[in-house]
Amino acid sequence: MITKAGSAKWMGGLKDGKGTVSTESTALKDQPYGFNTRFEGQAGTNPEELIAAAHASCFSMALSMILGQSDLTAEEISTTAKVSMDKDGEGFAVKKSHLTVAAKVPGASEEDFMKAAEAAKAGCPISKLLNCEITMQATLA
């Protein structure tokens, strides 16, 4: 089993408070977040952005693995995930993650690539974690 940790500190009320988020690896260390970075577009990170980065990176690795099972090696896989948070009753909920992927895979047919991309979308651990609609646009160069 692999276990990784992230941590957050929060001080103050919802709208006037401030927080920091860190990762065990220290790739993120005391990065600021708050109401303004989450809802008002201010500098700093937010939970949805971190989930999007996790989804994009997990998907890319899964796609590489699945292509490798067919003896295909990607020269490049570029993935962007856009996580959407919508109003849900009195609160909010992440309802969608859309993956946009462009890959250069020598020797791959469009059919083989799309099959691998769909399998990666369904099978990457972060996709399995998310309880939301996951859509994708994939392009083979």
Q: What are 36-95's pLDDT values in tens digits?
A: 999 898 888 999 999 999 999 999 999 999 999 999 999 999 999 999 989 899 998 898
| CATH code, 58-140 | 3.30.300.20
pLDDT at 35: 92
Helix axes 47-68, 110-123, angle to 10 degrees: 130
What confidence tier does 102 reach under pLDDT thresholds 50, 70, 90? Answer: very high
Q: Residues spanned by CATH 3.30.300.20 within the chain?
A: 58-140
Residue-averaged pLDDT of the chain: 94
pLDDT at 131: 82
Helices (H), the chain: 35-39, 47-68, 110-123, 125-129
Helix (H) or strand (E) holding 79: strand 76-88
Q: What percent of the chain has pLDDT over 70?
A: 100
Rounded distance between C-alpha atoms, residue 105 and residue 75, angstroms:
6
Rounded distance between C-alpha atoms, residue 46 and residue 33, angstroms:
6
